[in-house]
Amino acid sequence: MRKIAFWTLFLYAIYALFFAFYLFQWTNSSIPAQYKGTSADPATFLTKKELMLTEQFSEVKNFLFFLSVPYEWVIYIFVLLFGLSARFQQWAEATTKRRFMQTVIYVFWLSLLVQVVTFPLSYTSYYVTKMYNISTQTFSSWMRDELIDFWVNYAIMVVIVYVLYMLMKKFEKRWWVYAWLCSIPFTLFLTFIQPVFIDPLYNDFYPLKNKQLEAKILALAEKANIPAEHVFEVNMSEKTNALNAYVTGIGSNSRIVLWDTTLERLSEDEILFIMAHEMAHYVMKHIYWGVGLYIAVTFIGLLLTNRWMKRMMKRFGSLCRIEKWNDLASLPMFLLLISLLSFAASPAMNAISRYEEHAADKYAIELTKNKEAAISTFQQLTRSSLSEVHPPYIVKLFRYSHPTILERIIFLEKQ
Ligand SMILES: [Zn+2]
């Protein structure tokens, strides 16, 4: 047991060291020589100070990201190894005989522990965005979001875990197929209610305030056959200086959302370009493709999890004081495998997303035919979020669901 604990920490330290060197020493965000001096070169549209901040901020943010994912794995391994998970299950079973209540109790202790242990990292992340003036959120407002997050995730988790372990107990061989079948309506349901019930827990949503601009946006929306009542503004200026817009929800709840920061700080032509980009997602039904892909990936994920989980619990179960692979106490192993698999799958998922984003840019420039506005939009986005124009390769692989700003501006320049 000590040996496994040692190796876990040792490997994590090596991994962290590698990324420290990779991000801070071996790579920088300078762009290829042939693009120097073009509209894609941040030196042409950022001040010296902004350039320096961009580099520092991206390095720190990327480092925090790469630290935090495997950090979660370390927690799960330790919770299993030191019998904490078995302890939580005992507490739950000592309190009640009803399975559902046992799940409520077990998941609470596990979630609380993970939340507490990961708090330093999430706080650092908040502190850094605040320090670089991207986030304008007060500590109490941020903490409030963290708490909402905790309870929303907890509620969803209890439902999932209860159904999951019921299936594992009933169908030891085929549980994962049934779990996958259940996940389909559940995913559709969550995607459907998200814009109406979940997102409003964090921010206020309302129809566009600037009526003159709204008229122009709706005229554009009409060109793309999007019903007018599906465009919303969200109050984000209390929380951030960054700019954004996105498409969310399915069916009658689908909508295009613009952050008020975007509406306040961009020119009309720039806003119309962003709007056209979002409309492209809407028109090309990217959310539906996304949900479909998610369902397909879940199938493979559950198939592999079933095999590996049984194998791992056979080997390490008694060491972790867990009797059977389908005891509630094995949940950290399930979560560990799911997290490992989704991290491994993220480069492929990001690549698909980047492909869709590129298609949306193409659609937008064809609709608006305003190259200057499109390019300055991306320059403004870079400035407002201090994002790097040309990130290191591994960063792009794991973190970029959108093409890099360099790629996006070069594409526009060729139009
Ligand atoms: Zn997009």
Res 28 pLDDT > 90: no
Res 327 pLDDT > 90: yes
Tell me the CA–centroid distance for residue 259 and ligand 1, in Å: 14
Q: How does pLDDT run across 152-180, given as a tens digit for each residue?
A: 999 999 999 999 999 999 999 999 999 99
Tell me the CA–centroid distance for residue 125 and ligand 1, in Å: 24
207 neighbors 231 (Cβ within 8 angstroms): yes
279 neighbors 223 (Cβ within 8 angstroms): no
- What distances in angstroms separate CA 369 from CA 244, 270, 272, 375, 410, one per listed residue? 21, 12, 11, 12, 16
319 neighbors 266 (Cβ within 8 angstroms): no
* Residue 361 falls in the annotated catalytic set: yes
Q: How does pLDDT run across 195-247, given as a tens digit for each residue?
A: 999 999 999 999 988 888 888 888 888 887 777 678 899 999 989 988 999 88
Annotated binding-site residues read 277, 281, 357
Residues 282-311 have a mean pLDDT of: 94
pLDDT at residue 220, as a whole number? 86
Annotated binding-site residues for Zn(2+) read 277, 281, 357
Res 350 pLDDT > 90: yes
Whose structure tokens read 């790097």? 388
Tell me the CA–centroid distance for residue 146 and ligand 1, in Å: 26
Count of residues making up the chain: 415
Tell me the CA–centroid distance for residue 181 and ligand 1, in Å: 29
Res 380 pLDDT > 80: yes
Enter the tokens of residue 103. Answer: 């799940």
- What's the rounded Cα separation, in Å, for the pair 108 and 99? 14
pLDDT at residue 250, as a whole number? 87
Burial of 152 (0-12, 13-18, 19+ CB in 10 A): middle
Residues 386-406 have a mean pLDDT of: 94
pLDDT tier, 352 (very low <50, low <70, confident <90, very high otherwise): very high
Tell me the CA–centroid distance for residue 318 and ligand 1, in Å: 48
SS3 (DSSP) at 366: helix
Please provide the DSSP assignment of 79-141 as one string: HHHTTHHHHHHHHHHHH-S-HHHHHHHHHHHHHHHHHHHHHHHHHHHHHHHHHTTSB---HHH
Tell me the CA–centroid distance for residue 282 and ligand 1, in Å: 10
Domain ranges for the chain, please list them: 1-25+48-202+286-414
**Which of 374, 408, 376, 375 minimizes the C-alpha distance to 391?**
408
pLDDT at residue 254, as a whole number? 85
SS3 (DSSP) at 162: helix
Q: How does pLDDT run across 81-123, given as a tens digit for each residue?
A: 999 999 999 999 999 999 999 999 999 999 999 999 999 999 9
Whose structure tokens read 């709840």? 253
Residues 16-41 have a mean pLDDT of: 90
Res 271 pLDDT > 90: yes
pLDDT at residue 148, as a whole number? 95
- The residues pairing with 246 across neighbouring beta strands, listed in sequence order, are 257
Q: What is the mean pLDDT of the chain?
A: 93
pLDDT tier, 415 (very low <50, low <70, confident <90, very high otherwise): confident
Contacts of 243 (CB under 8 A, 6+ apart): 259, 261, 262, 265, 266, 380, 381, 384, 385
* Residue 278 falls in the annotated catalytic set: yes
Query: Range with the lowest mean pLDDT among 119-123, 176-180, 304-308, 381-385?
Result: 381-385
- What's the rounded Cα separation, in Å, for the pair 298 and 301? 5
pLDDT at residue 269, as a whole number? 92
- What's the rounded Cα separation, in Å, for the pair 63 and 306? 32
What is this structure's pTM? 0.91
pLDDT tier, 373 (very low <50, low <70, confident <90, very high otherwise): very high
Tell me the CA–centroid distance for residue 379 and ligand 1, in Å: 16
Tell me the CA–centroid distance for residue 281 and ligand 1, in Å: 7
**278, 327, 388, 407: the active-site residue:** 278
pLDDT tier, 18 (very low <50, low <70, confident <90, very high otherwise): very high
Q: How does pLDDT run across 43-87, given as a tens digit for each residue?
A: 899 999 999 999 999 999 999 999 999 999 999 999 999 999 999
- What's the rounded Cα separation, in Å, for the pair 266 and 376? 9
Q: What percent of the chain has pLDDT over 90?
A: 80
403 neighbors 300 (Cβ within 8 angstroms): no
SS (H, E, C) 254-318: CEEEEEHHHHHHCCHHHHHHHHHHHHHHHHCCHHHHHHHHHHHHHHHHHHHHHHHHHHHHHHHCC
pLDDT at residue 230, as a whole number? 83
Q: Which helix (H) or strand (E) holds 340?
A: helix 331-368
Tell me the CA–centroid distance for residue 348 and ligand 1, in Å: 17
Burial of 61 (0-12, 13-18, 19+ CB in 10 A): buried
**41, 260, 327, 361: the active-site residue:** 361
